[in-house]
Amino acid sequence: MIYIVILIGILAFWQLIKVYEYATIINGSEEETVTESDTRFNAKMMMVFCVAFFVFCIWNFWMYQDSLLPPSASEYGKALDTLFNFNMIIIGFVFFIVNAVLFYFASKYYYRKENKATFFAHSSKLEMIWTIVPAIVLTVIIIYGLKVWNNITAPVNPNETIQMELYAQQFAWTARYGGKDNTLGKSNYRLITDNNPLALVVEDPNNGDDKLVKGEFHIPIGKMVQFKLRSRDVIHSAFMPHFSAQMNCVPGMETEMHFVPIYTTIQMREMTKNPKFNYILLCNKICGAAHYNMQMDIIVESEEDYNKWLATKKTFAETMSATPDEPKVESVKEEMKKYTAITATVEEVKVEEKK
């Protein structure tokens, strides 16, 4: 009802304006419809609107700042937040300056009969200023951004990180841990079958102790986690908003990123005063009809609790060697043999071509 009343009020105000315009036309000539007093009034209203607009923007930011994400829960996330704030300060400064000048000019140079426009065709100095200054600012922003980005994606020592993989498919996530050897086994998208949805190379010994997890995955606080990212079908994007982390998952190739969590789930629940808070993994690419459902909870806990949780999960070898799955193992091995034979043939052809 409130919205309807507001809409009716706007329509009524619009009709009053139309009545005023028609009355002006009836009382005078069409050329004099827009008078100097009208434009003077509009000029004053321009400045009133400018001030009101700026006040509204500041109030809106102040009022809803608590609706933003809580403090970043990763080390690199803090660096990204600083980069974001740096950009917002520059953008905010330009926003207020440009709009203030825009409204000022609209107010100062309102219509007067005696006014004549100044012919101003070219100024090399002015063009140099508005070319060089933005170029310098953008260069600083780009160099700063690349530095932060390189810190997030730079190679790290696998022995000093937890190796895990996030595998995306419509419309679910699967997490895979490197197991006791902290090494993820090989995979190849050509091996995807119903029995081997992650396309893991069964004959690779590093795959034996890998652990597959769905529903939620756990990571320890204060430990660097390196994520390998793959996709089964279309381009997905692994987005963990509370860690300021995002990376595309591309079919047929592997991408990666890493970060160090600095707040446990329990600590973040206390900080946000939300006992139901959970970190979350989302897909940030519109990947199909059930895109909205592609979520996975993330639990950050102590290293001790993390190790206890991981110990309860079955390894890939245990899953594949279970009695009900014996036919699956044979099927996967047959697929692997076919792939090995095809690969060998391709290599032989390449050798012959070189000869």
312-345 pLDDT, tens per residue?
Answer: 888 877 776 654 444 454 555 555 555 455 444 5
Do 25 and 84 sit in the same domain of this protein? yes
How does residue 238 score in pLDDT terms, banded at 50, 70 and 90?
very high
Do 101 and 177 sit in the same domain of this protein? no
C-alpha distance from residue 313 to each of 108, 251, 304 (Å): 72, 27, 15
The reported pLDDT for the residue numbered 113 is 78
The reported pLDDT for the residue numbered 325 is 45
**Does the pLDDT value for residue 240 go beyond 60?**
yes
C-alpha distance from residue 24 to each of 10, 20, 40, 45, 204 (Å): 21, 6, 17, 20, 87
The verdict on residue 41 lying in a domain is yes
Do 12 and 67 sit in the same domain of this protein? yes
Task: Give every CB contact of residue 268 below 8 A, 6+ residues apart in sequence.
Answer: 70, 73, 242, 277, 279, 300
The verdict on residue 29 lying in a domain is yes
Contact 293, 280 (CB under 8 A): no
Domain of residue 53, residue span = 2-113+123-153
What's the rounded mean pLDDT across residues 161-173? 90
Do 7 and 108 sit in the same domain of this protein? yes
Q: 227: part of which helix (H) or strand (E)?
A: strand 225-231
The verdict on residue 108 lying in a domain is yes
Tell me, rounded to whole angstroms, the distance of Cα 104 from its chain centroid: 37
Do 272 and 286 sit in the same domain of this protein? yes
CATH number where 177 lies: 2.60.40.420
pLDDT exceeding 70 applies to what percent of the chain? 86
347 or 174, which is more confident: 174
Do 133 and 173 sit in the same domain of this protein? no
Residues 319 and 229: their CA atoms lie apart, in Å, by 22
Q: Please state which of the ranges 3-12, 140-149, 229-238 shows the lowest mean pLDDT.
A: 3-12
Counted domains in the chain: 2
Phi-psi category of 163—alpha, beta or left, where left has phi over 0 and alpha has psi -120 to 50? Answer: beta
Do 201 and 320 sit in the same domain of this protein? yes
Do 149 and 162 sit in the same domain of this protein? no
Do 163 and 148 sit in the same domain of this protein? no
Do 94 and 41 sit in the same domain of this protein? yes
Q: 163: part of which helix (H) or strand (E)?
A: strand 162-169
76-100 pLDDT, tens per residue?
Answer: 888 888 888 899 999 999 999 999 9
54-79 pLDDT, tens per residue?
Answer: 999 999 888 887 777 778 888 888 88
Do 190 and 236 sit in the same domain of this protein? yes
Residues 192 and 315: their CA atoms lie apart, in Å, by 19
pTM, entire model: 0.68
The verdict on residue 39 lying in a domain is yes
**Does the pLDDT value for residue 36 go beyond 80?**
no
The verdict on residue 215 lying in a domain is yes
Do 225 and 293 sit in the same domain of this protein? yes
The verdict on residue 131 lying in a domain is yes
What's the rounded mean pLDDT across residues 139-168? 86
